[in-house]
Amino acid sequence: MVRVTFIDILAFQLFTLAMVAILLFYSGISDYLAYVRRGFREAYRLLRAQATLFGIIGIVIIIIGLWGETTWPISVVSKGVNTMGAYNILFYDPYLMLGIVLASFSACVMLRLDTRYAGLLALITGALSIYYGINAYGLGLTQSPIAMLFLYGSLGLTAIFTFPVTIFIDGIIIGPMLANKADKGSRRYVTMRWKLAFLGFVIFLLFSAASALIALAIGGGALAPHLANPP
């Protein structure tokens, strides 16, 4: 049996996922209410503050993701069988992609660029996360495969519905800022395009709330066992 130094960071990862989901949910509601009540300039002011937090969390996630891709968990070969090698793929591929999405969205907001491209990147990341989750569930890679599947599914769907949200942001906040238009207060878009984007926004809020609850539940449940008996 090969003895290795093992650093268990799983609970922290789960709590960062919960932080991201909670921030997404709160940011979505507060930005929309700010837009309706005070117009796109106030909504953009809030969006910049939120983008700063997303950027910081994204950088932290990227650092952890890059580290985990190459070092965690270290493969342990026992009786000729690799017992741990697949988990860096399952736990860190989607995690690293999430960090890239958060940093990209933050940069777009701060630089007043179209956010829909970061949204498209989020859509791709979300679809891949669901694919990872389904495959991991089928292989039974974790001790709680159903909880893991729900987590990957809810986070993946949150990321997918980020795309219509960014289209919404570009149309009602970023676009008017770039055009330097007069603030119209609570003006609303009623075209079919914006109705669909708003529907995507509502679904995004629902899945971000579900993701936060699932991540908190799994992270809270994993903390004590991992403190007492790390894998």
The residues, any chain, with a CB within 8 Å of residue 99's CB and separated by 6 or more, are 57, 58, 59, 60, 61, 62, 63, 64, 65
Q: Which pLDDT band, with edges at 50, 70 and 90, does 196 fall under?
A: confident
Task: Inform me whether the pLDDT recorded for 201 exceeds 50.
Answer: yes
Average pLDDT over every residue of 196-203:
85
* pLDDT tens profile 96-138: 999 999 999 999 999 999 999 999 999 999 999 999 999 988 8
CATH 1.25.40 fits 10-76+83-222, yes or no: yes
- Whether the CB-CB separation of 102 and 20 falls below 8 Å is answered with yes
In 3D, which of 200, 204, 210, 13 has the Cα closest to residue 99?
13
Q: Which pLDDT band, with edges at 50, 70 and 90, does 224 fall under?
A: low
Q: Hey, is 200 helix, strand or coil?
A: helix
- Whether the CB-CB separation of 149 and 12 falls below 8 Å is answered with no
